[in-house]
Amino acid sequence: MTRLIRLFVLSVLIASLFGAAQIARADGSKADLNVIKTYLQGKTDALRVGAEALRAASDSYYALAKGVQFDYAALWTGKQAAAAKALTDAKAAWVVISPLYEQIEGIVAGVPTLQPYDPILDSGVKGEVEFDLTLPDGNIIAKPGNLYGLLETSLWGTEKTHVKQEADLDGNGKMDFGDVLPDANFVKGAADSMAKYMTALNADAAKWTPTESDAFTALVVMIPTMKEYFAAWKNSRFIMGDKADSGEFSVISRLADVQDIVGSLQVIYKGVAPLVNAKSAALDRAISGGLTDLHDFAADLYKQEQAGKKFTPEQADLFAGEAQANADTLTGRVAQIAAQLDIKLANN
């Protein structure tokens, strides 16, 4: 018996050295949880680098503004090219790291140990998030909302309180969407926080050892969230134009985000699909096909939108209902197979 215990302990230690434990079931099937871990780690590595690039650009813009005592008229008169470059670089970095996060949101927001990062970075609303934003001037904004939203609405000027003046950043002779000089103090504070939390997420992703429960919990938690994404799309600039209530989701269509989010769910499912297939090939086909259908549904709408089609709020509601109905059916199937596999779902 002592020898058996030692062998068991040794197997656990070996599994911990090589990431997620690949535990075979009686039927010989086993999940490939390392595929989830490897995917997440690669994306968070890129996010950390991208967030640092955004912070560097915001530092440059802040230094320029500070150099003229935050006189933005003087900044635009005397340092126009440098200010435009710093802001263009910051926006470019945001455009890179925004979809990168959506590509792991299904994991981060669905796994209990990683979930606290999601409201801070992407989903939290003003007054409800569990962090405060400290600005370079020492001011602290309590529970400000999510960092992606704060940076988008300040850099592109959809939150007017952060706009110091309009500025033709690309020099085309007209004021286009996003042609503003934002509050450098606010932008730097948000960019500093983004870099801080992305670094922390990257470190925690490296420490995380996924379990079967993590994977199935993430699927059950995140698949049925389609309606809220379509609601955000409906209320965004892509549907409502200048009448949009929200300044968020004005730069990248929420339809693109849906594709990325479902893509992250497909990665999770790929890791546990061998377990499902061994138990029920029919359910495996239904779940895999259902995820593909959700992804392709959003992709088709996005393709039409990119080609110039303008959807109405009523159409957005119809699409939301269709996507949610399919997602609910799919969630039921995932919960069903988890129960059959005797995999306990976490309370998230």
Instruction: Report pLDDT digits (tens) over 201-231.
Output: 999 999 999 999 999 999 999 999 999 999 9
- Give alpha helix (H) positions in the chain: 2-17, 34-67, 72-78, 80-108, 117-118, 147-155, 184-207, 212-222, 226-234, 237-240, 254-279, 281-306, 313-340
> What pLDDT score does 22 carry?
56
Say yes or no: 195 and 232 in one domain. Answer: no
Domain boundary among 190, 208, 226: 208
Say yes or no: 260 and 130 in one domain. Answer: no
Whole-number average pLDDT of the chain: 93
Closest CA to 290 of 322, 314, 315: 322
Residues 242-266 pLDDT 10s: 899 889 999 999 999 999 999 999 9
In a domain, 31, yes or no: no
Domain total of the chain = 2
Say yes or no: 247 and 347 in one domain. Answer: yes
- Which residues are within 8 A (CB) of 196 and not within 5 positions of it... i.e. 6 or more apart? none
Say yes or no: 186 and 169 in one domain. Answer: yes
* Residue 111, phi-psi category: left (phi > 0), alpha (psi -120 to 50), beta (remainder): beta
Say yes or no: 232 and 184 in one domain. Answer: no
Say yes or no: 62 and 199 in one domain. Answer: yes
Closest CA to 107 of 276, 275, 297, 266: 266
Q: Which two tokens stand for residue 291?
A: 């995820």
In a domain, 332, yes or no: yes
Q: What band does 306 get if pLDDT is binned at 50, 70 and 90?
A: very high
In a domain, 310, yes or no: yes
Say yes or no: 249 and 302 in one domain. Answer: yes
In a domain, 321, yes or no: yes
In a domain, 4, yes or no: no
Say yes or no: 158 and 249 in one domain. Answer: no
Say yes or no: 235 and 252 in one domain. Answer: yes
Find the farthest-apart pair of alpha carbons in the chain and give their distance in angstroms, rounded. 82
Give the span between the Cα atoms of 70 and 79, in whole angstroms.
12
The arithmetic mean of pLDDT across residues 75-99, rounded, is 98
Give the span between the Cα atoms of 14 and 16, in whole angstroms.
5
Say yes or no: 57 and 195 in one domain. Answer: yes
The arithmetic mean of pLDDT across residues 278-290, rounded, is 97
Say yes or no: 121 and 195 in one domain. Answer: yes
Give the span between the Cα atoms of 180 and 97, in whole angstroms.
21
Give residue 337's domain range: 211-348
In a domain, 72, yes or no: yes
* 17 pLDDT above the threshold of 90: no
The arithmetic mean of pLDDT across residues 282-298, rounded, is 98
Domain boundary among 193, 208, 223: 208
* 21 pLDDT above the threshold of 80: no
Say yes or no: 200 and 250 in one domain. Answer: no
- Count Cα neighbours of 234 within 13 Å in the Cβ-side half-sphere: 16
Q: What is the pTM of this model?
A: 0.91
